[in-house]
Structure 1
Amino acid sequence: MLYRGALYRVLNPNYAREPLSGRGAELYGGRFNPNGVAALYSSLSVVTALREANQVGSLQPTTLVAYDAHIEDIFDSRDEDALKAEGMNPAVLSDTTWREQMNVSGEAMTQTFARRLMANGFNALLVKSFAPGATDNDLNLVLWRWSDRAPSRLTLIDDENRLSR
């Protein structure tokens, strides 16, 4: 699958000067990246990005960033046959216990799934949002490989260099 268009992320202002790093996900792991693997969790809409960033408690100060993306080799998790072929299903993708799995066994099932996809050459995963209030139309793109050129080009939209101030 190919994605061309805008992507959005909501960052903690402490990390806003490095909107392309993926360092936080690398340090702590995420639902779709094991510890030690950098990832950028992005959304296809601003509203989804806000939902993702504020899943617990009240809305905290945030920095919204946008990217222009041209990402090839994306695994589309909405395709249940493709999921099944990878030994995965929607219930495991949405399982809220992924953090506990990571703490108990070192890696959650969704992280193992992501590791397999990366090994098979996928640059990213398209997956529905599991944030409270999300609908089937709220989609995220989790990137494992990105750069300033194809096949996984991601360009920060900051024409006025606001983040460098």
Structure 2
Amino acid sequence: MSLLKLGFQYKGVVYRGHNLRWQHAPESGEGAARNGGRWNPVGLQALYTSERFETAWLEAQQGFPFKTQPLTLCTYHVDCGPLLNLCDPAIQERVRPNPKEWMHEAWLNKKLRREPVIAWEIAAQLIEEGFTGIRVPSQANGATHRDINIVFWKWSQKVPTKVRVIDDEKRLPSEPSNTP
């Protein structure tokens, strides 16, 4: 059976904590493309979101939960798919054997040493198969089983890949600020 048959359409809300430099572009994956991330190599845009705002806060703090940095927390309306649920151990095993090895991979250390990052290989495979994103457990310091992220590789403002920031009162700036 193709993995794509295991995909699902995510409908609901997700959250994302933005560095103030990116609050003018909450639907952009440019920051992730510039630096790479656990599930995207440099050059591939990705939108990292969380199912709970608490998780978005943990993720945005970059491992410093007791040294809080300013951020803009946004909520997104989502109707996007197909996504693959990598929170399911059976699906993890189908994607690649030994999920404990790659689900907790020290991807940043590998990136810095210019070694292959397994998660990037998996992302490339899933994108090629037609997935728009994945649902994965958070690896942030302090994360628990309740902390789940959704990473989008393909999104737009319309269904079937809709991921739109909720800003009914137009509070987000439309231009970059002078924030360093």
Q: For 1:107-137, what per-residue CA distance to the aligned partner results, in whole angstroms no more than 9, with x for missing partners?
A: 4111111111111100011001111121111
Q: For 1:58-80, what per-residue CA distance to the aligned partner results, in whole angstroms no more than 9, with x for missing partners?
A: 10011001110011211100222
Q: Match of 2:167?
A: 158
Q: Match of 1:40?
A: 47
* 1:132 correspondence with 2:114: no
CA contact (8 A) 2:32 2:40 kept: yes
Q: Which runs of 4+ in 1 moved over 3 A?
A: none
Secondary structure of the residue that 2:172 maps to in structure 1? Answer: helix
CA contact (8 A) 1:72 1:151 kept: yes
* 1:120 correspondence with 2:124: no
Secondary structure of the residue that 2:78 maps to in structure 1? Answer: strand
Secondary structure of the residue that 1:64 maps to in structure 2? Answer: strand
* 1:73 correspondence with 2:82: yes
The alpha-carbon deviation at position 106 of structure 1 amounts to: 5.3
Q: Could you tell me how far apart the structure 2 residues matched to 1:81 and 1:4 are? A: 23
The alpha-carbon deviation at position 154 of structure 1 amounts to: 0.9
Among 43, 46, 52, the alignment partner of 2:59 is: 52
Q: Match of 1:92?
A: 102
Q: Match of 1:110?
A: 119
Q: Could you tell me how far apart the structure 2 residues matched to 1:65 and 1:132 are? A: 21
Q: Match of 2:157?
A: 148
The alpha-carbon deviation at position 164 of structure 1 amounts to: 2.7
Q: For 1:10-46, what per-residue CA distance to the aligned partner results, in whole angstroms no more than 9, with x for missing partners?
A: 0011110000111010011100001110000000010
- Gap runs ≥5 in structure 2: 1-7, 175-180
Q: Could you tell me how far apart the structure 2 residues matched to 1:155 and 1:78 are? A: 24
Secondary structure of the residue that 1:105 maps to in structure 2? Answer: coil
Q: How many aligned residue pairs are there? A: 164
* 1:63 correspondence with 2:72: yes
What is the Cα-based RMSD across aligned positions, in Å? 1.4
Q: Could you tell me how far apart the structure 2 residues matched to 1:118 and 1:106 are? A: 21
Secondary structure of the residue that 1:125 maps to in structure 2? Answer: strand
Q: Could you tell me how far apart the structure 2 residues matched to 1:83 and 1:130 are? A: 15
- Gap runs ≥5 in structure 1: none
CA contact (8 A) 1:72 1:123 kept: yes
